[in-house]
Structure 1
């Protein structure tokens, strides 16, 4: 897919998208989260880009939601879907579902929705989904204990690009390698010419290192899994709870993750733990070993009676000898015991092995001295030995674990993506369950809804009365105030929008027309001034062009101007739409007047009122075909006439007044 060919994607945005690992795949999958990782692309922008890619793939010109009110209905429906998503990913992914006239797109989502509706929104699965999120890159990785070395400028440049985590150095010869080896635990020479060169330190000649990044920098793989460990484990829990199939050996993956800490270091290796502890505890162990030796000597000296002949004392003084000579002569055995105790403590405290123990023994010399002190050079050598052994063991374990995880990386990515997509499916399934939805049929000129209930009313869905309503062509819908005319229009709009999204609709059954545009005009707030009135007429004049592929829903258009004129205007609009083959419903309190003005036999449907009970209007919510509904004032007058009751006068004369008034309707 050519990125610049996507609607709304210019050269700058395309360049930003190319920084992603595989932007075409992300767009194909509708992965809004992946697209949002591109520099400068917000979540909302990413959703629009993905929708643009979908439109380009299905040759969809867009523009289905032709009015503000149609867009509002879509946003309300979308919000209900998003409320049923657990993850942020699914919430953003649902924004890529939009109403379309493209048959291939609707069929694609229909297939998705049909499978989704078979899903069981198990609470255990929903709980597990709470921890799942798209996998992210490990940021800021830097490896300080090794470097790459080369004599070639071109290789140097390639190595810098391939290994941003490592230092890359240019050397002239083996001496340069030796200098690097004194500053790094490991030096990887990239030039085959260095093969066979003997240099002190861990210097490896690996000309093919650029082709084996996971072996040279195992931290790259380990950091990725460490960064995403909790998300991966949550995805594993989702698969187990939902019984999803996967190509990943979940036990192997869990065992590998158990060996990683949050920083990407290897855990659970006894030898590495021993060496790491020895390095960390070395200074404290040496200090304690000194104390062991000195405590032993102090105790011996306090309890020892030392007798020195005068000639011996004189001889020691003349030679300038001090207490060390005295210890050597009188307490040689006790000193040796003290040093042995210090050495044993150091070896035991650090759990040193044979070669390490030999170096540790040199930390305390055989020459008597008091207080006993360690040899800094010997301790430094021991530190270097332990540190080198620790780093070698760590590198070995990292390479082993990275080799295992490298093979699991792509399957794990698919594992997480499948869990996230399941959340999208479950959101659709929950929407369908909560609002008793079915997939709608498409075709014909008008629409037919049976048992439809609008989910965007400000009442609990369980309290919404089902509505049956259908229109073939254009029709007028009449009814009393607060009788449900506007909510019926909303229901039609909701069903049409969802059906053209390819998603299930809230009805027992539904058929919608195959239209390219939904024009829904909300009730105007008061009479319009001349300029606004003219603009409104221009809008309706444009509806007649290609009207056969449009569905028009209008709520009380007569409110834009005087009642007498508005009846004529609405009648003229209906005539134009009828002749153009459009489908639509016009809600009006002037349905009778409009019918009289129409040049064709326009259908007038009505929401029938049964009357007033305790001051409350009682209506049949499903519109009755070919029925001009009575107005609220007529119902009130009828009620008063039936009661024959007046105030401040004779009841009979009042009843006669109401009868005469009723006769005017």
Structure 2
């Protein structure tokens, strides 16, 4: 993590800021792991004690958190919400409440939820090996520096013409980073001269920039759409983001294809199509020539005059020579027409056309077959040209995109945090919740609704000291205690509570005891009573909820209690 953020302080700063988005981009760290790290840091910073002292109240806390997390549209939002937990620190609660107030005032347009689903933390740039490219230098002092600067490509030390030709034979593009070497012309067709490239890696590996944007294009585009839909973002969420620069990024992304290639470059498109379709076009031309010649030969009548016969006899010529001379023009016409169609279909330039004209023999013979050596030279010429044009187009786009990484990072992280805020807002609005106040003694709840019931009846309840809650069976006693636990759990998180109004006393620990069908025996009752030793021994204020504690034992003993 230190290497990723440049220093230990850089990593610790992200953790202290609760920057789960940045932390989750560290290789090997998921959003969930990053959230756990931040949660542990919060607990350490505020010296948090274990506020929830029993399994029952822990279970209620988890059920409430699940309901909140369901409102998140992203995996990041679900994970980030887990950094919020009941805590005794007034400062922490106050900070969270300030954030919640901003979240409750957030306004976004229709369709934001669907756009949020496509947003995720940014992936780091992909540094896979690029096999068609090599960097060369004749300076031994530069070789290690170049290898560190360009780990994606081969970096070779060349000391003579033979070594340079060897590198050129194995790579489509060779980049010379020296000022000059006297024998560089030996590989001039494949050689690019870029002496300052070590200080500007985009000249050699534009894929480093392009892969970052290509891999994250969907997340960025969705984040831009969300950004445009926001009417009233929480203050501080999108600080430093410039509308103009976001529009520029959006335009540049339209030129980038999902593989990191450049869309819309006519030169690259033409050569790429010609390269892909070359074999098929040559086969079609070959078939067309043979069909044309066979058709012409089958219908043609050749008249042999007496002088021709005498020439054949006197010079010991062959009849096929006479036939060839008679059909030569037809043969040339068929070849020229087929090659012309190939050149036109593939949009070959003048240099490529010259090679294409030698693809087929000019001597009448059947069957007509392509010249494999010429076809191979044409294919290599197109491949090198495609490599050069593609690299140039990538470099140009990478130079334009370079520098926008921080804009994109701020935007995506802001949108992910927006999802967290909106999840809390949805939860609060769905259940008619309000932020509680903190009082001096006991609690007061007005219009409280149990979050775990489908259609709860609002209730009012208050208590300042030890209170016995009585009522008929199924009269709502357990539901009321659950509601009190929910209010306290959420209040100590800094979150809204399910009530029209709530005032609660800050407590250091919460206990909730409830009988279980598996523990209805005398030993279980004795164990439950022993647990109360902790309640009595530990200092600090406490909320203790006990639901029909006497039922933890046998029915007869329960009645006596």
**Category of TM-score, reference length = shorter chain:** 0.7 to 0.9
Deviation at 1:177, TM superposition (A): 2.2
Instruction: Check the 8 A contact 2:25/2:122 in 1, yes or no.
Output: no
- Matched with 2:445 is 449
Deviation at 1:81, TM superposition (A): 0.2
- Matched with 2:479 is 487
Deviation at 1:297, TM superposition (A): 3.5
- Matched with 1:237 is 225
For residues 39 and 382 of structure 1, the distance between their equivalents in structure 2, rounded to whole angstroms, comes to: 44
- Matched with 2:304 is 307
Instruction: Check the 8 A contact 1:327/1:368 in 2, yes or no.
Output: no
The residue matched to 2:128 in structure 1 has which SS?
coil
TM-score (norm 1): 0.74
The residue matched to 2:462 in structure 1 has which SS?
strand
The residue matched to 1:198 in structure 2 has which SS?
helix
- Of stretches 225-234 and 71-80 in structure 1, the one that deviates more from structure 2 is 225-234
Instruction: Check the 8 A contact 1:47/1:96 in 2, yes or no.
Output: yes
The residue matched to 1:551 in structure 2 has which SS?
strand
Q: Confirm or deny that 1:283 pairs with 2:279.
A: yes
Aligned positions of 1:416-455 closer than 5 A: 416-455=412-451
Deviation at 1:474, TM superposition (A): 2.9
Instruction: Check the 8 A contact 2:21/2:416 in 1, yes or no.
Output: no
Instruction: Check the 8 A contact 1:236/1:250 in 2, yes or no.
Output: yes
CA pair 279-340 structure 1, distance change in 2 beyond 3 A: same
1:422-476 Cα shifts (integer Å, max 9, x gaps): 111111011110111111112312212111111123x32xxx2222222223333
Deviation at 1:546, TM superposition (A): 4.7
Instruction: Check the 8 A contact 1:121/1:429 in 2, yes or no.
Output: no
Deviation at 1:536, TM superposition (A): 3.3
Q: Confirm or deny that 1:187 pairs with 2:174.
A: yes
1:387-436 Cα shifts (integer Å, max 9, x gaps): 21111111111111112222222212222222221111111011110111
CA pair 222-292 structure 1, distance change in 2 beyond 3 A: same
Deviation at 1:84, TM superposition (A): 1.2
CA pair 450-385 structure 1, distance change in 2 beyond 3 A: same
Q: Select 1:376's aligned residue among 367, 372, 379.
A: 372
Q: Confirm or deny that 1:549 pairs with 2:541.
A: yes
- Matched with 1:226 is 214
Aligned positions of 1:32-71 closer than 5 A: 32=20, 35=23, 44-56=32-44, 58-71=45-58
Instruction: Check the 8 A contact 2:132/2:172 in 1, yes or no.
Output: yes
- Matched with 2:60 is 73
- Matched with 1:496 is 488
Deviation at 1:35, TM superposition (A): 4.4
If you compute each CA radius of gyration, which structure gives the higher value, 1 or 2?
1
For the aligned residue pairs, the C-alpha RMSD in angstroms reads 3.3
Aligned positions of 1:386-425 closer than 5 A: 386-425=382-421
For residues 304 and 448 of structure 2, the distance between their equivalents in structure 1, rounded to whole angstroms, comes to: 114
Deviation at 1:490, TM superposition (A): 1.2
Deviation at 1:121, TM superposition (A): 6.3
- Matched with 2:511 is 519
For residues 475 and 238 of structure 1, the distance between their equivalents in structure 2, rounded to whole angstroms, comes to: 50
CA pair 20-310 structure 1, distance change in 2 beyond 3 A: farther
CA pair 474-156 structure 1, distance change in 2 beyond 3 A: farther
Deviation at 1:116, TM superposition (A): 0.8
- Matched with 2:242 is 247
- Matched with 1:628 is none
1:264-306 Cα shifts (integer Å, max 9, x gaps): 2222222211111111122222233334434443344322423
Instruction: Check the 8 A contact 2:508/2:542 in 1, yes or no.
Output: yes
Deviation at 1:75, TM superposition (A): 0.3
Instruction: Check the 8 A contact 1:121/1:426 in 2, yes or no.
Output: no
- Matched with 1:635 is none
Instruction: Check the 8 A contact 2:175/2:191 in 1, yes or no.
Output: yes
Instruction: Check the 8 A contact 1:33/1:92 in 2, yes or no.
Output: no
- Of stretches 435-444 and 305-314 in structure 1, the one that deviates more from structure 2 is 305-314
Q: Confirm or deny that 1:474 pairs with 2:470.
A: no
The residue matched to 2:409 in structure 1 has which SS?
helix
Instruction: Check the 8 A contact 1:327/1:335 in 2, yes or no.
Output: no
Instruction: Check the 8 A contact 1:195/1:205 in 2, yes or no.
Output: no
For residues 131 and 431 of structure 1, the distance between their equivalents in structure 2, rounded to whole angstroms, comes to: 21
- Of stretches 153-162 and 66-75 in structure 1, the one that deviates more from structure 2 is 153-162
Matched pairs, number: 548
Instruction: Check the 8 A contact 1:194/1:205 in 2, yes or no.
Output: no
1:140-188 Cα shifts (integer Å, max 9, x gaps): 7331210223467775555444434222334344432221112212123
- Matched with 2:522 is 529
The residue matched to 1:148 in structure 2 has which SS?
strand
TM-score (norm 2): 0.87
The residue matched to 2:47 in structure 1 has which SS?
coil
